[in-house]
Amino acid sequence: MVPEPTPEKREIQYSISDLAREFDISSRTIRFYEEKGLITPRRTKGNQRIYTSRDRARLKLILRGKRFGYTLDEIARMIGMNDIDMDEIDQIRTTLQYGEKKLMEIEDRIHELKILRREMLAIKEKLVQRLQVLEGQQ
C-alpha cells in the first residue's frame, strides 16, 4: 500500500473553472488549448479534467505568448511541444529568435504608424484651413 502524500508533497490541483477564473478566460479557451495539445490535464474516473501546477504555468506562457502576438504554432515551438528532445537552452534560443522577429515586426509597425500619423495631421490641417475659409464666407 502506498502511503498518502504529506500535505507538503501533495501537488496543487486546479479545475478548469479555477484556471478560467484566475486567467479571466473561458473554459472553452482552455479546452481549445487542450485540443491543440498545448496542455494535457489528467482526468478523474468521472472524466473531469484535473490541472497541475505545470499545466497552470504552461497556460500562463500560452496566454503571455498570445498577448505578445505569437501564433499557437510559434508558442508550441517556444515551449518545446514539437520537439521532445528540446532542453532549456534550446527553448531559450528558440524564444529569443521569435522575440527578435517580433521586435522587428513591432519596429516596422511603429514606422508605419508614424507615417500614418504625419499624413493624418497634414489632412487635418488642410481640413481645418478649408473649414475656416468656408465659415468666413458665411
Domain boundaries, the chain: 1-69, 83-138
Q: Look at residue 10 in the predicted model and tell me its pLDDT.
A: 67
Mean per-residue pLDDT for 29-33?
A: 95
Single out the residue of 64, 61, 66, 99 nearest to residue 80, CA to CA: 61
Structure confidence by residue, pLDDT tens digits, 84-96: 677 888 888 988 9
- Whether domain 1-69 has CATH 3.40.50.300: no
Q: What pTM was computed for the model?
A: 0.70
Calpha distance 57→74 (Å, rounded): 17
C-beta neighbour count of 30 within 10 angstroms: 23
Please tell me whether residue 51 adopts helix, strand or coil conformation: strand
Query: Do the beta carbons of residue 84 and residue 93 sit within 8 Å?
Result: no
Please list the alpha-helical segments (H only) found in 24-87.
27-35, 53-67, 72-78
Mean per-residue pLDDT for 60-79?
A: 91
Query: Do the beta carbons of residue 91 and residue 79 sit within 8 Å?
Result: yes
